[in-house]
Chains A and B, each alone.
Chain A
Amino acid sequence: MNNSLLVVVLASGIAYGTPLLFASLGELLAERTGVLNLGVEGMMLVGAVMGFWAVQRLHAGAGLSLAAAIGVAALAGTAMALIHAFLVITLRASQIVSGLALTIFAGAAGLSSYLGNDLNLSTDPARHQFHAIFPASVQDWPVVGPILFGQNILVYASWLCVVAVSLYLSGTRPGLNARAVGESPAAADAMGINVVAYRYAHTLVGGAFAGVAGATFTLAITPQWVSGITGGAGWIAIALVIFAFWRPELCLVGAYCFGALQALSPQLQAREIRIGPTELWTNSLPYVMTVLVLVLASSSGARRRLGAPASLGLPFVREER
């Protein structure tokens, strides 16, 4: 029963959905203060390669290495986000072009590939990886075993992050200030909120989340480094934020749906289930579904009412309002 297609797809859907969840939570934080960062894919890849590097080069126990690797990945993502933040917040550059530039700079043909190559990472499997934390007997429980208890600690950490981000945005003073900055920076400024500092802080935290999301690939899902390992997950994460109407809880639902779609392709191929041009449609499915979901989320004029921050994508210049 635990080997049935549905259970396996759901269980690995949660695993595949975890990097999407981390990345979309980070993007959500940045967007809620009005900073659109299209560089998620690049930040994830740099986080992925640096996290992997830390695990390979640190000579410590598994737990310590992995914890350090997550820290390194978060720092790497933050460093990438800093470039974007400086360009769009301080230099008032176009958020769209700057985010694209970040993905080109850091992405599959850029810095992440350079680092992977230069640090000779692409030959070996990871020395340590995240394993499921519950004992095998619990994991064998029917249905809920593999789905809920067969996951690694990053999955459970991501659930905590959803709760934390949700509480932060709805129930704390800084969270409410951040939302004010995203909705109306001029009003927030008049209230005495430091718009620039809030935007920097949330963009950087968003980068840290993206870095951890990348490391989830290289340390848990496919524990090795391959150039371009994220395969567009960063872009799907950006779409998820729109799909989730900028709400953390819905990011979780969306991330697992897309994770399940990504899990479907290898499962169908492993079970030799063929329906039409299988390789084509199973591989393309997550991307096509992203397009369809975006169309649904954006049509019917639902966008404004359902939570897009009003100042998303616009620079704030105190003298020019």
Chain B
Amino acid sequence: MRIERRLRQPRWLLVAVPAGSLVFAFFASGIVLLATGHDALSSYRQIIDAAFLNSGALGQTLTSATPLAFTGLAAAAAFRMRLFNIGGEGQLYIGAITAGAAGLYLGGKGGSSAVVIAAMIVAGGVGGALWGLIPGILRAFFKTNEIITSLMLNYVAGYLLTYLIFNSRSYWRETKGFNASVFPTAKTLPDSALWPAATIHVRGGIVLPLGAGIAVLVAVVLWALYSRTRFGFEAQVLGDSPRAAKYAGMRTRRTILAVMALSGAIAGLGGASQDGDFRHMLDADPNGLQKQYYGYTGIVVAALARYNPFAVVLVAFLIGGLQNAGNTLQGADFPSGLVGVMQGMILFSALGGELLVRYRFRVGRAPEAAAPEPVA
């Protein structure tokens, strides 16, 4: 049997391989479950029930899927040009911090809801973009590996988040009231800073948060940007062949900065949506936002979607279901960490499946190679 490079990639494979990866990952995680003495089938049935079928499950899944759509799009935007921005986690925190400040300040001054929400969206995007620009600048000007720098900044952003609520009397922290003197908490956002949501009255009510709508919008914009504009073309050339981009006179540094800022901004929007849609405050609880690992899971989402923005939204919904099931079911017969194991398996199989997209297997002997040219 031989492996040879495909000259053309059939379209059906681009769907079949991720789908096959999912199936394989469930199979492989089943082995982990069986090996540790759990009934894999009943675990899976519980997951599917808790993710999609139970009353109210779809709404919960949307709650988990919305941030994953943002972090997935953020990762896809950068990974597509081979800028490995692992900093989605930290960029999301910073977006939550800046959007929280905007919501508290403008909402507290009695601005109209539309203005406050718009300001939160802008603030979240700008905050995330600035945090993403740090590894971007280091990469563009000093050629510093963006993988490690963006990841290190995740820890810094996490400590900043904790510091603002637990170790200081910052603007975000609630200082009045009895509860605040017992346990440090964040200020609750004023009503005008809460994001509206549409409710569909089926299966126990499905809440469509504003953030989910924004995520879909971002996906459309990202698709248009990468497939219909000069900037997107340059970014892709730069990713595939930095040298070709340089000879063609493309501005490498500017593109790196723009892509990192864009990626950070999308993750920051996810942080703004956490404040406005779901948590209604700056959540610094060590078991809250920081235990969800949205930024890292976004990488799984982006890779499984093969960095296609529309596929990211779809995959975010599926992985969001898994995440939601993990949160709901956590307990004796559903060990925490199982969701991470399954996500890792999904990524592994998607990676292995990539081989099937790029290469094909031929059974049989290689055709006789042409005799080498005689050297004179």
Contact = CB atoms under 8 A, between A and B. Distances in A.
Contacts, number: 158
Interface stretch (B9-17, B45-53, B136-144, B239-247): B136-144
Nearest to B359: A92
30 contacts: A38-B147, A91-B351, A93-B354, A94-B351, A102-B344, A104-B343, A105-B344, A105-B345, A105-B347, A108-B293, A109-B293, A109-B340, A110-B337, A110-B344, A111-B340, A113-B336, A113-B337, A114-B340, A117-B335, A118-B335, A227-B337, A232-B151, A235-B151, A238-B148, A239-B152, A242-B145, A279-B159, A279-B167, A290-B148, A298-B145
B156 A287 contact: yes
B326 to A, nearest CB: 9
A236 B154 CA distance: 13
A106 interface: yes
A287 B163 contact: no
B168 interface: yes
B284 interface: no
Contact of A232 (B36, B155, B347): B155
- Mostly, the A contact residues are helix
Interface in A105-150: 105-118
Interface in A256-282: 277, 279-280
A288 B152 contact: yes
Interface in A209-242: 227, 231-232, 235-236, 238-239, 242
A232 B157 CA distance: 13
A100 B86 CA distance: 9
- Mostly, the B contact residues are helix
How many B residues are at the interface, by size bracket?
35 or more
A207 B99 CA distance: 41
B344 A298 contact: no
Interface residues of A, number: 54
B144 A298 contact: yes
Contacts of B168: 277
A100 B299 contact: yes
B156 A110 contact: no
A104 B296 contact: yes
A4 interface: no
A303 interface: yes
A236 B155 CA distance: 11
Nearest to A98: B351
B144 A117 contact: no
Interface string B268-300: 000000000000000000000000010011011
B68 to A, nearest CB: 13
